[in-house]
């Protein structure tokens, strides 16, 4: 492993960034009072509960509990480790970190994970070299050129080719010393059941490298050139590749997506590459499978708006409907780009050109409700009154799901005009569906309110409240922490609080003053970061009065004594059962003594 980044450099980086600026690159924020608020990037929500404090330089989500400073925000959102996150922030502030401090794996063979990542990076370069620099790759190169893919796109997407050979990749991997069993687990080679020999997974195919959301190559997809099946062959699932959690081109497109607060959701590799060629650089793909909740959550970390741009066949239309349901749950604004019958985005761009794709498809995308009105009428004979009335009922149910009254009114009027039904009758019929939707919404709101009441209004036991408020003051003041250490010898009953206090004492012993954001770098786990971010959001006075400190400590000491009394009461009953009345009398005297020393706490 690389050397640890010196604390003074970490602190220099932390002080040089403003957490509001860092978070704003990922989450649109609005100032409310002293803090900034936005939709949490770590869980789906429609009401902003994600708070960023410029004063404390920390973030905290009141919904899911996520919390930390600028460094831990990058760690959690980008999936980086501590040193990688510091290095990424250092680039923003033009602070140069010594190269030996960057946390790289100097010996990838030390771990299976490292071997797999390095092997994928090497094989990617090998496939790309074969495509652009060899006579064997000339046919594949001409195939791409004929499809309108230029050298620029080939370089940007790092496209390659697998030779029509059983063991070309296997041999170069073996020559470089990669262990074949690990290469098999990684999905780069396949082991023959007949003779136990290894051979290449991909043969005579165009190669599309697949990045994870941190930019590492973790898989490939191979497209056959010409006739045959399967059309696409993907790497198998492995310890580094989980297809349902990744989106093709997400890593490369995320900065553009965030700037535009929009993503174009496509199905395949070729669609994304053609869209990029057409100047649409915020396109990502589900790689030929249905959108998953994990993929939707990944998109939510970057954008609020999605344009679904799937194929125009029935399978594509059905996939659009399914994807929309998942995206709605995450709170996206959704539009649908409608392709002409029989064409996918790649075919459309090659046939009509980039400009028409932008103006007639992307810019002309319709609202999700408009798409549903067209989707539900496909294949129906609306001249048949029974079919027509059923369609109208289906649309009323969909309109009832819309959250804005202006939208509901717009589409009700649209139905009224199309089918020559008076708006009054339509609204009366609509009322029953609207009431059903409201009842479902109200149940959800009641459940949410109950949760909030449990969190915020339940009267906590005195010792629990004392631990919370004492910890809040200790985080806020080195002097209070020292007073508590001198006057209370035990640990808190909450294990997380006790662990935080141990780190806090060590932090202060190093000569540090109170600084929540800086202290968070000393915490070893995401769980403790979340606890601290929650504690520092408690409402406390700027200074802790002596009387208040005494009450908190008395509450803790009283609870200690209560626990000891409970233990002795068990011993008392045991002594009485055994007829040892002398011992019982001694224990009773001890209980009385403990009770007499308990303090009254207001």
- Tens of pLDDT, residue by residue over 310-321, are 998 888 888 999
**Which position has the higher pLDDT, 224 or 561?**
224
pLDDT of residue 2: 46
DSSP 548: H
The Cα–Cα gap between 448 and 167 comes to: 58
Strands of 189-304 (E only): list them: 189-191, 198-200, 205-211, 217-224, 232-234, 262-266, 283-285
Residue 363's pLDDT band, with cuts at 50, 70 and 90, is: very high
Are 583 and 575 in contact by the 8 Å Cβ rule? The answer is: yes
User: Does residue 447 surpass a pLDDT of 60?
Assistant: no
Are 243 and 287 in contact by the 8 Å Cβ rule? The answer is: yes
Are 124 and 169 in contact by the 8 Å Cβ rule? The answer is: no
Q: 163 by DSSP, 3-state: which?
A: coil
**Which domains does the chain show, CATH number per domain?**
7-101 (3.90.580.10), 108-241 (3.90.980.10), 245-367 (3.40.1360.10), 385-456 (no CATH), 462-596 (1.10.860.10)
Residue 457's pLDDT band, with cuts at 50, 70 and 90, is: very low
Identify the weakest region by mean pLDDT among 72-86, 327-341, 450-464. Answer: 450-464
pLDDT of residue 365: 95
The residues, any chain, with a CB within 8 Å of residue 71's CB and separated by 6 or more, are: 10, 13, 14, 82, 85, 86, 89, 520, 521
**Which position has the higher pLDDT, 321 or 342?**
321
**Which position has the higher pLDDT, 92 or 140?**
140
- CB atoms near residue 595 (< 10 Å): 11
Are 36 and 52 in contact by the 8 Å Cβ rule? The answer is: yes
DSSP lists the bridge partners of residue 284 as 265
Q: What is the pLDDT of residues 246-285, one digit of tens each?
A: 999 998 998 888 888 899 999 999 999 999 999 999 999 9
pLDDT of residue 599: 66
User: Does residue 100 surpass a pLDDT of 60?
Assistant: no
Q: What is the pLDDT of residues 325-334, one digit of tens each?
A: 999 888 889 9
Distances (CA, A) of 354 to 337, 349, 358, 375, 504: 15, 6, 6, 26, 58
**Percent of all residues in the chain with a pLDDT value above 70, rounded to a whole number:** 92
Are 19 and 517 in contact by the 8 Å Cβ rule? The answer is: yes
The residues, any chain, with a CB within 8 Å of residue 9's CB and separated by 6 or more, are: 86, 95, 97, 101
Q: What is the pLDDT of residues 22-41, one digit of tens each?
A: 998 888 888 888 889 988 88
pLDDT of residue 436: 55
pLDDT of residue 448: 38
Question: What is the DSSP secondary-structure string of 383-409?
Answer: TSHHHHHHHHHHHHHHHHT-S-HHHHH
Which secondary structure element, helix H or strand E, spans residue 479, and what is its range?
Answer: helix 478-487
Are 395 and 374 in contact by the 8 Å Cβ rule? The answer is: no
Strands of 16-65 (E only): list them: 30-32, 35-38, 50-53, 58-61
Residue 594's pLDDT band, with cuts at 50, 70 and 90, is: confident
pTM over the 0.75 mark? no
Are 345 and 339 in contact by the 8 Å Cβ rule? The answer is: yes
**Which position has the higher pLDDT, 1 or 585?**
585
pLDDT of residue 132: 94
Average pLDDT over residues 212-238: 90
Which secondary structure element, helix H or strand E, spans residue 307, and what is its range?
Answer: strand 305-308
pLDDT of residue 146: 92
Of 355, 320, 318, the residue nearest 334 (C-alpha): 320
pLDDT of residue 210: 96
The Cα–Cα gap between 544 and 481 comes to: 11
Of 60, 40, 41, the residue nearest 51 (C-alpha): 60
Distances (CA, A) of 69 to 50, 179, 592: 13, 40, 49
pLDDT of residue 437: 52
The Cα–Cα gap between 441 and 434 comes to: 10
Residue 52 region by backbone torsions, left for phi larger than 0, else alpha for psi between -120 and 50, else beta: beta
The Cα–Cα gap between 153 and 141 comes to: 12
The Cα–Cα gap between 388 and 463 comes to: 66
DSSP 27: S
The Cα–Cα gap between 127 and 159 comes to: 8
Q: What is the pLDDT of residues 129-175, one digit of tens each?
A: 999 999 999 999 999 999 899 999 999 999 999 999 999 999 999 99
Are 477 and 514 in contact by the 8 Å Cβ rule? The answer is: yes
- CB atoms near residue 81 (< 10 Å): 10
DSSP lists the bridge partners of residue 263 as 306
pLDDT of residue 400: 85
Query: Mean of the per-residue pLDDT values for the chain?
Result: 85
**Which position has the higher pLDDT, 410 or 600?**
410
User: Does residue 101 surpass a pLDDT of 50?
Assistant: no
Q: Is 222 exposed, middle or buried (0-12, 13-18, 19+ CB in 10 A)?
A: buried
Q: Which residue has the tokens 């696409």?
A: 232
User: Does residue 184 surpass a pLDDT of 90?
Assistant: yes
User: Does residue 549 surpass a pLDDT of 50?
Assistant: yes
User: Does residue 505 surpass a pLDDT of 80?
Assistant: yes
User: Does residue 181 surpass a pLDDT of 70?
Assistant: yes
CA angle 63-26-536, nearest 5°? Answer: 40
Average pLDDT over residues 578-601: 79
Residue 303's pLDDT band, with cuts at 50, 70 and 90, is: confident
């Amino acid at each position: 492993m690389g050397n640890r980044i010196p604390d003074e450099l970490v602190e220099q980086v932390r002080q040089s960034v403003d957490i509001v600026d860092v978070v704003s690159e990922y989450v649109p924020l609005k100032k409310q009072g002293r803090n900034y608020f936005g939709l949490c990037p770590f869980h789906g929500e429609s009401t902003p509960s994600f708070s960023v404090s410029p004063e404390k330089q920390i973030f905290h989500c009141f919904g899911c509990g996520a919390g930390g400073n600028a460094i831990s925000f990058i760690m959690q959102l980008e999936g980086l480790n501590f040193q990688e996150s510091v290095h990424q922030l250092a680039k923003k502030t033009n602070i140069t970190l010594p190269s030996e401090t960057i946390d790289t794996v100097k010996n990838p063979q030390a771990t299976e994970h490292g071997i797999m990542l390095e092997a994928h990076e090497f094989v990617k370069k090998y496939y790309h070299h074969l495509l652009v620099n060899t006579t064997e790759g000339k046919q594949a190169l001409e195939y791409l050129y004929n499809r309108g893919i230029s050298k620029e796109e080939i370089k940007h997407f790092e496209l390659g080719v697998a030779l029509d050979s059983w063991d070309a990749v296997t041999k170069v991997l073996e020559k470089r010393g990669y262990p074949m069993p690990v290469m098999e687990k990684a999905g780069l080679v396949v082991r023959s059941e007949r003779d136990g020999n290894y051979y290449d997974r991909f043969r005579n195919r165009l190669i599309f490298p697949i990045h994870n959301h941190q930019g590492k190559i973790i898989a490939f997809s191979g497209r056959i050139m010409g006739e045959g099946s399967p059309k696409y062959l993907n790497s198998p699932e492995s310890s580094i590749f989980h297809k349902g959690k990744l989106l093709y081109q997400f890593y490369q497109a995320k900065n553009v997506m965030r700037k535009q607060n929009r993503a174009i959701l496509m199905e395949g590799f070729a669609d994304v590459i053609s869209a990029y060629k057409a100047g649409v650089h915020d396109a990502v793909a589900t790689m030929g499978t249905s959108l998953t909740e994990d993929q939707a959550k990944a998109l939510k970390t970057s954008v609020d708006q999605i344009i679904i741009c799937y194929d125009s066949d029935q399978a594509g239309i059905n996939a659009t409907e399914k994807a929309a349901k998942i995206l709605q749950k995450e709170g996206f604004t959704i539009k649908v780009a409608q392709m002409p019958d029989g064409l996918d985005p790649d075919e459309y761009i090659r046939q009509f050109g980039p400009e028409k794709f932008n103006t007639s498809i992307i810019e002309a995308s319709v609202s999700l409700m408009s798409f549903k009105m067209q989707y539900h009428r496909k294949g129906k004979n609306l001249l048949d009154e029974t079919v027509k009335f059923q369609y109208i009922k289906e649309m009323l149910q969909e309109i009832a799901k819309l959250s804005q009254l202006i939208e509901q009114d717009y589409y009700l009027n649209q139905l009224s005009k199309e089918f020559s039904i008076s708006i009054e009758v339509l609204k009366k019929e609509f009322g029953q569906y609207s009431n059903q939707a409201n009842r479902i919404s109200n149940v959800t709101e009641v459940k949410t309110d109950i949760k909030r009441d449990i969190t915020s209004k339940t009267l906590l036991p005195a010792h629990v409240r004392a631990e919370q408020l004492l910890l809040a003051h200790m985080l806020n003041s080195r002097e209070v922490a020292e007073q508590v250490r001198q006057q209370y010898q035990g640990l808190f009953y909450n294990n997380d609080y006790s662990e935080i206090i141990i780190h806090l004492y060590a932090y202060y012993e190093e000569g540090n003053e109170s600084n929540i954001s800086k202290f968070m770098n000393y915490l070893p786990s995401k769980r403790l970061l979340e606890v601290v971010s929650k504690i520092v959001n408690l409402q406390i006075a700027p200074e802790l009065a002596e009387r208040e400190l005494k009450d908190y400590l008395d509450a803790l000491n009283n609870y200690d004594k209560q626990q000891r009394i409970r233990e002795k009461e068990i011993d008392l009953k045991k002594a009485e059962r055994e007829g040892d009345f002398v011992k019982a009398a001694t224990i009773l005297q001890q209980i009385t003594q403990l009770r007499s020393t308990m303090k009254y706490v207001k």
